[in-house]
Structure 1
Amino acid sequence: MSTNKSKRPSLIAYTVTGEGENTFFHKIGAAWSNSKGGYQIKLAALPVNGEIVLLPPKEE
């Protein structure tokens, strides 16, 4: 399975810490859609709490 690395990711991977006004989203990776309808996820870090949130990239 290969991915075009220059292609913009479909989703950004975050881990979330804190609550309420102290909530912080730490970017830990990205996901690209593949030809089989799934995603290839590349992580630069693993969340300590075991939770990953995938969100669409922000429009620039």
Structure 2
Amino acid sequence: MKRPQKNTRPSHAVYTVEGQGESSYWTKIGAAWAHENGEGFNIQLTALPLDGRLVVRKPKPKTDGEAA
């Protein structure tokens, strides 16, 4: 598998989510880069979840006062 170039930003964030609805707890555990043809992703994880589910989402725009 080809790794993403180091100078490209990921197109999505990867989270493990435990629980349901308003009481769910999201932990960011990696990043994903969309394939150029739109058919899939390269995913790089910094941790492995023991349970819960994986969710891949586009990152939300930063607001004033948030760290980059």
| Runs of 4+ with deviation above 3 angstroms | none
Q: Show CA shifts across 1:16-48 (max 9, x none).
A: 113344311100101002334321100011111
Contact 1:31 1:40 in 2 (8 A): yes
Identity between Structure 1 and Structure 2 (%): 45
Residue-pair matches, total: 60
Contact 1:15 1:27 in 2 (8 A): yes
Task: Tell which deviates more after alignment, 18-27 or 7-16.
Answer: 18-27
TM-score, length-scaled by structure 2: 0.70
Structure 2: which 5+ residue stretches go unaligned? 63-68
Which residue matches 1:35? Answer: 36
Give me the CA root mean square deviation: 1.9
Structure 1: which 5+ residue stretches go unaligned? none
Looking at CA atoms only, which structure, 1 or 2, has the larger radius of gyration?
Answer: 2
Say yes or no: does 1:6 pair with 2:2. no
